[in-house]
Structure 1
């Protein structure tokens, strides 16, 4: 069967995302009076570091092959923070209800604050939860939010700010929110132990727009 992209590289990944943060595309200039001025050169991008547990030789070779399919950064995969597959209030999705109809309800003029509709009544987001808007835009929640009886939340801030393509009624993904990434060239490490053949996989990745 032909491999299709973006590849679901992290499906069943036997490890963790040890880092998952924003890479700010900025210029900084420090003045003589001690003030540091910062200028944006574009919206920030997500970057991640992924580390597996120790694996037996056969499993290690399987994951080496999966990473080969990324062609050292040529191909995209769906990436997510592995600690944020579900909102904090609903471990493994327990008690969350149906969230497949979630969508953007309103957008603040500053493009940093939204409300969301189509959620179960009483649904909760906590600071640090993540959501995906549309097919590729990943955001981290900065303020706690809850859906009222009509399934609409109050306004809450997210980062990074909304991308220009984002509009009212765009779908919101609550479960396993993701963005598109590529492997940072040369970052894959898969050294095995000489005596046992066991080893682990680690690699870095950067959002690919």
Structure 2
């Protein structure tokens, strides 16, 4: 018997609905001339609200109860993700299986390399290489970045804002939100240059938000009903 490793993934089955979106803390301030200025306080974080379906099996219900118990409220981290978009939209049926990189070799959902270019207006353009030829990225496709710190898993998550078809050489460039919080020239940031960009079930580190989730009552079928789980991204280096 081995101990549970944290951060741990969410149970695979049972989510019937979700709200998975960026949570921002924004402010606007009108000037004397009527022009409105806008600014953000802090980096935007992913928020996930997951509703469990009414048709859970007893085993699935027990698994979710155990998951909520092991989190100890917000004390421990878990790997949260969108259950609606676990793969790029163009490959939802195949789940990225059977693809090969443009340069040869099986494609496992990770890019060979990545880079980010920031535009003057703050728009972030992400370039990924080592993809299959003419790879399609659709609006709302997710990309996560994976690395380890002190032997512990780390994640960052971004989402595509436009549909693009990559080059025959396996490169694709597209706008993302939020920008990748990368470390540049030793300055502030979270994601190191050696992080792996991944398209297969992209995820981020999350903690349960106190007093926002609700564990449903247990029915006579011995399953929980009406359960809502709320998590907020923890973006740690």
TM-score (norm 1): 0.86
1:117 pairs with one of 125, 129, 139: 129
The equivalent residue for 2:25 is 25
Summarize the Cα distance change of 1:157–1:57 in structure 2 as closer, same or farther, 3 Å threshold: same
The equivalent residue for 2:234 is 208
Deviation by residue 1:124-183 (Cα, 9 ceiling, x = unmatched):
111111111234110110121222221112x31100012033465642101100110001
Q: Does the 8 A contact of 2:144 with 2:202 survive in 1?
A: yes
Tell me the distance in 1 between the aligned counterparts of 2:65 and 2:74.
14
TM-score (norm 2): 0.77
Which residues of 2 match residues 19-168 of structure 1 at below 5 A? 19-31=19-31, 35-54=35-54, 55-56=56-57, 59-92=60-93, 93=95, 97=99, 98-110=107-119, 112-135=124-147, 136-153=155-172, 155-165=173-183, 166=191
Deviation by residue 1:52-72 (Cα, 9 ceiling, x = unmatched):
111355542332121111110
Tell me the distance in 1 between the aligned counterparts of 2:4 and 2:77.
12
Q: Structure 1 regions of 5+ residues with no counterpart?
A: none
The equivalent residue for 1:8 is 9
Summarize the Cα distance change of 1:177–1:56 in structure 2 as closer, same or farther, 3 Å threshold: closer
Tell me the distance in 2 between the aligned counterparts of 1:9 and 1:57.
17
Q: Structure 2 regions of 5+ residues with no counterpart?
A: 100-106, 148-154, 184-190
Tell me the distance in 2 between the aligned counterparts of 1:89 and 1:29.
41
Structure 1 position 103, deviation (Å): 3.8
Structure 1 position 17, deviation (Å): 4.7
